[in-house]
Chains A and B, each alone.
Chain A
């Protein structure tokens, strides 16, 4: 398996523009997580899905952020409009929850977002 795939790896955009980050989880996993990491705030959970349904979005900063998971193999995190304070590394992770699984999360390589 190729692991969790994220695209793009780097994104530079101007304030006010729409940004869409993409994630392909590991095949067979039923949970997907979006995290944001900055020096100031560390690694924060934004939202997570179980069986394509959003379970907890309490970490989503504000209405400018939205996430979707239309099917088990794809998720997007959208920021519209983007602001300089959104600059961070965004990680996607997936896991299998259920039964005796240990629920370890597998992280993607991240998308480094810079909003000018």
Chain B
């Protein structure tokens, strides 16, 4: 699986958009970008994934650059409950294992 690089921490004001970057410059053509988050004391939770097109669901949007070497997770209107560690993972679909790095600790402030 390709290695990812994320900033260790970020702050965001409540109600504003949170933009979480991820670098994955060694991503292979058949590897997807997955995002999970982990709220304190809970198990990680799937957010969204994509291959090369931008994706949106009820939780977030995923923007993948044209060269696929980086991506951004966007929480359009962050709330205090979005405070969590956000993990960016790249892996082949149907590959089974996922390697979680250190993630980004997002703190949403009132």
Contacts and interface: CB of A to CB of B under 8 A. Distances in A.
A47 B69 CA distance: 29
Contacts of A55: 96
Contact of A102 (B43, B49, B95, B99): B49
Interface residues of A, number: 26
B44 A107 contact: yes
B46 A106 contact: yes
A104 B101 CA distance: 17
Contacts of B34: 104
Contacts of B97: 33, 45, 48, 56
Nearest to B89: A105
A97 to B, nearest CB: 5
Contacts of A28: none
Interface in B34-85: 34, 36, 38, 41-46, 49
A35 B46 CA distance: 15
A93 interface: yes
Q: Is the interface of B mostly helix, strand, loop or mixed?
A: loop
Contacts of A108: 43
Contacts of A106: 46
Contacts of B41: 110
A97 B43 contact: no
Interface in A23-38: 31, 33, 35
A102 B51 CA distance: 11
Interface in A45-86: 45, 48, 50, 55-56
A104 B46 contact: yes
Nearest to B49: A102
